Structure 1
Amino acid sequence: MPLAATGLGVGEVARRAGVPISTLHFYEAQGLIESQRTSGNQRRYHRSVLRLIAVIKVAQRVGIPLAQIKDSIAQLPSGHVRAMNDWSALSKSWRAELDRRIALMSSLRDQLDSCIGCGCLSLADCPLRNPGDVAAGAGSGARAFD
């Protein structure tokens, strides 16, 4: 029996995934999830979309951009319901980026009190925004560095 006849409706997926229907439409428009249409043009989703939505939401929560999530999902094997080893490969592909973000946030946390409270108001002296006064090498005028 085709998915369009047996799949989950958009309302049921939204309810079970804990997201608004508009989120499902957005994810589909962005190519993160897919559905099939019935003869009446209603969306039907395979049950496995619930796991995929959960992974997308967790990845978003830790700050992974949707474009990167989409690219990572596209690297997973298709043609079968994704299993634990597929999801494990996905999490391993994000590990280095997450470690980098954790280190950056830890550094910010450790320096933030002294930075906000220092009152220097000087870009040249700020260890967070301009370590080693690297902005001076870019010439005069305002500069933003990340």
Structure 2
Amino acid sequence: MSHLVRSGAWVAGALVAGVSLAACAADSAPRPIDESSPAPDASEVDYRDGEYAATGWYGSLPSHQDVALTIEDDIVTEVTITTPAEDPTSLQHQQAFADALPGEIVGQQIDVIALDRLAGASGCSEGFMNALAEIKTRARA
């Protein structure tokens, strides 16, 4: 059974996008900052206004969430997320995450969104961030 939590009036069909997850190796040695070519300011990246959807995969089951959001002037104005888990514990985490998500990202500039753990759900955050990366790629102007 699939549950849907949404913010706003629209529900976009989710596009299945396999997102591969890779482990990151920790490098304990600090690296010098190259000030000759500073990182681009988030305001320098432009995204096309519109509605975008992607699937974010996470965990070892694997689990997923279908994420749809609306971008206007590089700001997230609406978000919809499905909570398709069938396991009661997983579903509880997904629903708590989905309930908290709009309050965290609606009104935020898309390039500053960085979720690590939200509503006690770190896996859901990982899935959302993977879906967001796919959406950002599609929306780049």
TM-score above 0.5: no
TM-score range relative to shorter protein: under 0.3
Larger Rg: 1
TM-score (norm 1): 0.25
Structure whose residues are more often helix by fraction: 1
Structure number with the higher strand fraction is: 2
- Length-normalised TM-score, structure 2: 0.26
